[in-house]
Structure 1
Amino acid sequence: MKLKHKVLVYNFLAFAVLFVLFRFILYFALAINSLYLSVIAAVSASVLAPKFAVAKIEGLDKIVMKWIFIKGFKIL
């Protein structure tokens, strides 16, 4: 599997897990329309999910991760 495809899968999985988690938490915490719950969960998940990318480091392609809770990039 190419690194670009792995990065795409990692980005999707990180977003999907956080979206489902936020969706269920908001469903039990708030009594509003399900469309609004989904929008709030999607925005929250997109802000808080880690971002993965392919970077060329020392001539090699490597997967790097940027997250709001860590400073800088983490090489995976």
Structure 2
Amino acid sequence: MIELVRTNDAVVISFVESLMRDAGIACFVADQNMSVLEGSIGLLQKRVMVDADKADVARRILKDAGIENEIRQK
């Protein structure tokens, strides 16, 4: 899996998950439970991961949705 997005913005994470689900692309939110360690203050960023073979399609979907600034560079 490759990292598609890294952010501590819960709205962006939810939006990306929704876009991927609608496109039929499986994704995984890594570091989701790290807030337990950090005390829920939002310092540690969460990562949305997708299969490498779906990365180009996933990036195109984010670009079409207008959030290309959230895409992690290759």
Scaled by the length of structure 2, the TM-score of the pair is 0.32
Structure showing greater relative contact order (alpha-carbon pairs closer than 8 Å, 6 or more residues apart): 2
Larger proportion of helix: 1
Task: Tell which structure's C-alpha radius of gyration is larger.
Answer: 1
